[in-house]
Amino acid sequence: MPNTPSETVHTDAVAHDDAHQHSYIANNTKADYLKRLRRIEGQARGLQRMVEEEKYCIDILTQIAAMKKALGAVALGLLDEHMAHCVAGAVRAGGDEADLKLKEASDAIARLVRS
């Protein structure tokens, strides 16, 4: 596969404060997420090869369903940690930040349910 120089993903959502680092992901689970995402990247490459070689369509669909499930599982894991640390922290601190974090989390859940 050739280099894909513009692999960066830009969305409005990513326009978040980049200087703001979040250490809510424990180091051991961080390594685990990276491993799972590398595997998902490999699945995306495997899918390209399957389409390139015109593999049987149903097999490609099975791979896509597996990949969506893997992504969904990563999302649920990240959401758990986010609620247990970031949201819970804001709730304990109280004030507008708590409401904002709760609203943000429920919007994220709604997006996941629809995706």
Q: Segment 57-76, which members bind its own copies (CB under 8 A)?
A: 57-69, 71-72, 74-76
Q: How far apart are CA 59 and CA 61, in angstroms?
A: 5
Residues contacting 107, CB < 8 A, separation 6+: none
Asked whether the beta carbons of 51 and 60 are under 8 A apart, the reply is yes
Tell me which residues in 72-111 interact with its own copies (CB under 8 A). 72, 74-76, 78-84, 86-88, 91-92, 94, 98-99, 102, 104-106, 108-111
19 binds its own copies (CB under 8 A): no
Instruction: Out of 17, 28, 95, 96, name the contact with its own copies by CB under 8 A.
Output: 17
Q: How far apart are CA 35 and CA 90, in angstroms?
A: 29
Please report, to the nearest 10 degrees, the dihedral formed by the alpha carbons of residues 65, 80, 41, 44 taken in order.
20
Return the SS3 of 8: coil
Q: How far is the CB of 70 from its own copies (least distance, A)?
A: 9
Tell me which residues in 36-55 interact with its own copies (CB under 8 A). 37-38, 40-55
Q: How far is the CB of 114 from its own copies (least distance, A)?
A: 7
